[in-house]
Structure 1
Amino acid sequence: MKALKKTNPRITKLIFDLKAQSREQKVSLWRDIAERLEKPARNYAAVNVSKINRHTKENEVVLVPGKVLGTGKLDHPVTVAALNFSVAAEDIINTANGKCMTIEQLMQANPAGKGVRIIK
């Protein structure tokens, strides 16, 4: 197993927890997200709210392995889990009756990873 070179303890713990969840639940979704987060931070996804609006349906669960940015509009409620959110993105998602959560919270709420769409 290769050594992690991450200095952020939250990211290191999240990667460890994602891999553990993947082994326990036999769900490849969590392993995929862990592998994406092991890459350099400059490769993390930066997704605008407008892209989430285009690629989702009402009440869908979306996972962004990076940061959600606040450009665009959201015309239907969605649950968005991400590593980070900009303040504007949180406001837009909450205004549309959606929900913002961390990847850790999504992993606890949906350990099997059913019905989760990854947007990068």
Structure 2
Amino acid sequence: MVHALLELSAKVKAKGEGEGEDREEKRRREEMRRREKTDPRIDRLIGDLKRISRESSAPLWRDIAKRLEKPRRHYAEVNLSKINRYSAENDTIVVPGKVLSAGEIEKPVTIAALGFSKRAVEKISSRGKCVSIEELMEANPKGSGVKIIV
């Protein structure tokens, strides 16, 4: 019985000594979570999207801002074939990431994205229109009739 109590008190002491390390690790993790975007354009875009969302009561822009706050490795990479499959004529599409050129676009659509590959811009320009998310946000602050494709 005495032996068990000694072991228990040793464990408690060991735990108390290691607390500083746990706090330090927790502080590091919190610091990593609070890290800002290194691209000032994206940082500014996220702030503008949130502001427009509040002013216009448009949840679409808030949703896109949340998607862009995530790490870059989680951004959408959408091929033209997917946009063609899920869009109708004269639709307005937002891609919170990059549009890639695999596939063809057969309908006139307006596509707003964070970035486009060179071939995607060529293919889209033949039928539709490429714009930045900032341009679409200014042209349509309510976000009406806009589809998000990820």
Normalising by structure 2, we get a TM-score of: 0.77
Alignment of 1:1-120 (within 5 A): 3-96=34-127, 98-120=128-150
Matched residues in 2 for 1:4 and 1:14: separation?
Answer: 16
Q: Distance in 2 between matches of 1:95 and 1:20?
A: 34
Q: Give the letter aligned to residue 101 of structure 1.
A: V
RMSD: 1.0
Q: Which runs of 5+ in 2 are unaligned?
A: 1-32
User: Comparing both chains, which one has the higher relative contact order based on Cα–Cα distances under 8 Å and sequence gaps of 6 or more?
Assistant: 1
Q: What is the percentage of aligned positions where both structures have the same residue?
A: 58
Following TM superposition, where does structure 1 have runs of at least 4 consecutive aligned residues deviating by more than 6 angstroms?
none
Whether the 8 Å contact between 1:4 and 1:38 is mirrored in structure 2 is no
More helix by share: 2
For normalisation by structure 1, the TM-score amounts to: 0.96
Report how many residues are paired: 118
Partner amino acid, structure 1, of 2:132: T
**In 1, Cα distance between the equivalents of 2:74 and 2:86?**
21
Does the aligned pair in 2 maintain the 1:4–1:12 contact within 8 Å? no
Deviation at 1:5, TM superposition (A): 1.9
Structure 1 residue runs without a partner (length 5+): none
**Which structure: larger Rg?**
2
CA drift at 1:109: 0.5
More strand by share: 1
